[in-house]
Structure 1
């Protein structure tokens, strides 16, 4: 069974673009430490200068703190600074806002990296209708499992 699942996953990744593979892997990353590590490995292999790819790489750095024993604070601080810089340079990119919102929703409150949740949520809800079909599907999928977006707000995402 594991072999069949591995082959299906390999087949999916083979026919996806790098960004599609990152999106898919990121969506599954919080399910287990193995999925987190797979996402980190995939993000580290990316070489592009695309802001969205760089956003996923910053998220991978933050998520790495979840599975390592040392330098957790430094990883979160570095990843968060990188993500903030990317968003500052690309403030109208909804996918970057989704990445930051998902990171901030899932990071422990004690870390303190939660200051943009309300702004990102409002930006996502206000700009959803302006996105292409692929991004709408990705945002909607995120919204369905989001801890911050309410059922009423989810209903507005069509």
Structure 2
């Protein structure tokens, strides 16, 4: 199943690290025509990765497409942590002058709250680990929040 969430997670991680994998991921996601909110968020992430590898002339177009697709995904399922994580991971890496990073703090707060509610948060163990690591490594949590996230759940 090319659009299973587990497959998309794996491809997204590969695409984030490798230009060829990024192009392959973009092609896969460009062919997606359904309206599943989480898959739409991965489609938006693929647009953002395409922007990373595109010419200066095309970068903004891909980033704007990604932003619109993230908005659609969040409108469809605003309570989905994976969608919010993908949007934060993209928006937090955009230059601020583009004005397309307006959801960073909102998504950051949502994800911290979701992580602290784990395992009752709806995130599976794999997602929890990925999101938690990203939030801590990228400095999206305070020292106190990081300590709480390091504490064993229970």
Q: TM-score, normalised by structure 1?
A: 0.75
Alignment partner, residue 5 of structure 2:
19
8 A Cα contact 1:40 1:61, kept in partner: yes
Indicate whether 1:59 and 2:51 are aligned.
no
| Residue correspondences, number | 144
Give the Å deviation of 1:47: 5.3
Write 1 or 2 for the structure with the bigger share of helix.
Answer: 1
Indicate whether 1:154 and 2:140 are aligned.
no
Alignment partner, residue 101 of structure 2:
114
Q: Which contiguous aligned blocks of 4+ residues in structure 1 show a shift greater than 4 angstroms?
A: 45-48
1:141 to 130, 133, 141: 133
Distance in 1 (CA, whole Å) between partners of 2:31 and 2:147 is: 37
Task: Flag structure 1 segments of 5+ consecutive residues without an equivalent.
Answer: 1-13
Task: Flag structure 2 segments of 5+ consecutive residues without an equivalent.
Answer: none
Q: TM-score, normalised by structure 2?
A: 0.77
Indicate whether 1:82 and 2:82 are aligned.
no
- Give the root-mean-square deviation of aligned CA atoms: 2.5
